Chain A
């Protein structure tokens, strides 16, 4: 009690504009939330924060739909934000009317998955590309051919992460599709054929890319840019390729759940992470970009020049955001995926 009083006094002395004591329960991807950020939030607002991990959008969706979860905040990928909204699981907290909203990068305001930002705030965004160890292969890495038609040096040594949506999108783009959720059977058939043919050259389909690429156990793998960044910091030979044929972009977004118990704290959190200094903490931890202008000033020096964060213009253009595919397309993807892993 005494401690609370002291903290309350301190908080009011600091002149914090909004104040709410209590709890906040965050449901986020594993190994993704900066502990420093949480500590700062707890101290600023005298809120006890609890973080629970999940490993996929469907897991998060299923648990939240089941009810009784007790979470206030969830961080779905952009493709799942409309699903959450459509099912009435997110609260319209109007981040666009919050104090720190003017810090949001204008590019991320009118997005397809949340036009005008009535529900969500960007957490981090990134790309799915390819990590290659240059001591084994010195050629062009900016192509999906690294895993879909591997050069001789990499045959039998490529890892492919078992992320169906990402891999299907990469394969569809590689064979000339422009829409990751295309229902064009010609394209899907070509995508299947190229995947089936490539599989013989793969070593494994597994996660753990950061560790295994940096240790040299894997010399090439489909990978996410932030993960590759961390791998390169540990092993400078690991470079990141942006497939010129097209590659998926994604943005994880912070939303408040419709049945949240600590709504005010959750809103405070949404506002809190739009502060450039706080957004920089998120990025400094997981090594992905955030969507907040001015956060660069607070980022570690190596983030500003990292090739994983700053793609050259012609490669940046090949990145695409795709929605969650409609059920019929999804079923085709699953059928191809099953055949691939049989």
Chain B
């Protein structure tokens, strides 16, 4: 009797979630299928695609036929763009972690009543549009911006620094934008952390670094991994930040894809690139699943 009730409950649960699931599957797979088909078609003359099977886009992703002497070689420009995206995303992840860990630790160690306020403060930037926040950072960094005004005003530097339009500016921007995505999972992990374990560590003659390395970090690892994925994935596809703060001189994958759908008029290549981006994200997620699986084994 109890079992059938249980079954009914489970079945009802499925039925109730059916609309949401359908929407999710359609919304997630629909565009993806279109992109996957487009990647194997021929580019249209002015935009769009012609329905002729072609593998040219995939060839173009990795190889280029020199437009002047016809020799085929590895697409140096594309690899440079991919590498820049991956490198900047990894650095962003590292930076958000560096700033995020002490922040999350600070919040988690506040009295219960204050924590809500601190978390609330962390989420405030989400209330503002990403573009507006990026332009705000631009105002801070530009040659006649606040940062340079303060630094020259205090005679720390003799002349304003050209930070805007460099990779550094992109890094600062992405770190700022994605920091909350790192802090929140870290906080969730630290919040569950049993602080008596630290004392136990000290009792067993561990130094502060050893406690951090051998006790705290392994236990909050799920939070670290989740935060890193949450930061790394959107960084990889970032479009606005490199476009506005990087000055558009150097592309990241997102900008490169946009070029193919816009002025480049090569939708199949854009689609193939989007799929490659998805592949990189997929690899990152496999890493995530593996990391959390081994975590369970350890636990």
Contacts and interface: CB of A to CB of B under 8 A. Distances in A.
Q: Is the A/B pair a real complex? A: yes
Contacts of B143: 217
B103 interface: no
Interface in B246-270: 247-251, 255-256, 259-266
A204 B47 contact: no
Contact of B263 (A80, A83, A189, A334): A334
A165 B77 CA distance: 20
B59 to A, nearest CB: 13
Contact of B46 (A58, A162, A199, A331): A58
A62 to B, nearest CB: 5
B186 to A, nearest CB: 35
Contacts of B248: 162, 204-206, 341
Given A62-B47, A338-B256, A342-B77, A188 B67 contact: yes
Contact-size category for A: 35 or more
A342 B81 contact: yes
B160 to A, nearest CB: 11
Interface string B162-193: 10110000000000000000000000000000
Contact of B251 (A59, A80, A341): A341
A324 interface: yes
A56 B262 contact: yes
B106 to A, nearest CB: 37
A318 interface: no
A335 interface: yes
A58 B247 contact: no
Interface string B56-81: 00000000100110000000111011
Given A61-B46, A206-B247, A341-B251, A217 B142 contact: yes
A27 interface: no
Contacts of A62: 47-48
A336 B264 CA distance: 11
B43 interface: yes
Contacts of B247: 203-206
Interface in A319-333: 324, 326-327, 330-332
Given A217-B143, A334-B264, A204 B165 contact: yes
Given A202-B249, A217-B142, A335 B45 contact: no
A332 B67 contact: yes
A152 interface: no
Contact of B265 (A65, A188, A327, A335): A327
B60 to A, nearest CB: 9
30 contacts: A58-B265, A62-B47, A62-B48, A65-B48, A80-B46, A162-B248, A164-B263, A185-B67, A202-B249, A203-B162, A203-B247, A204-B247, A204-B249, A205-B249, A215-B144, A217-B144, A324-B46, A326-B45, A327-B43, A327-B265, A331-B67, A332-B67, A334-B263, A335-B67, A338-B256, A341-B249, A341-B255, A342-B76, A342-B250, A342-B251
Given A205-B249, A324-B46, 20 more contacts: A58-B46, A58-B262, A61-B46, A65-B47, A185-B67, A188-B68, A203-B165, A203-B247, A205-B248, A206-B247, A216-B144, A217-B144, A330-B264, A331-B266, A334-B260, A334-B263, A338-B256, A338-B259, A338-B264, A341-B250
Interface of A: 56, 58-59, 61-62, 65, 80, 83, 162-165, 185, 188-189, 199, 202-206, 215-217, 324, 326-327, 330-332, 334-339, 341-342
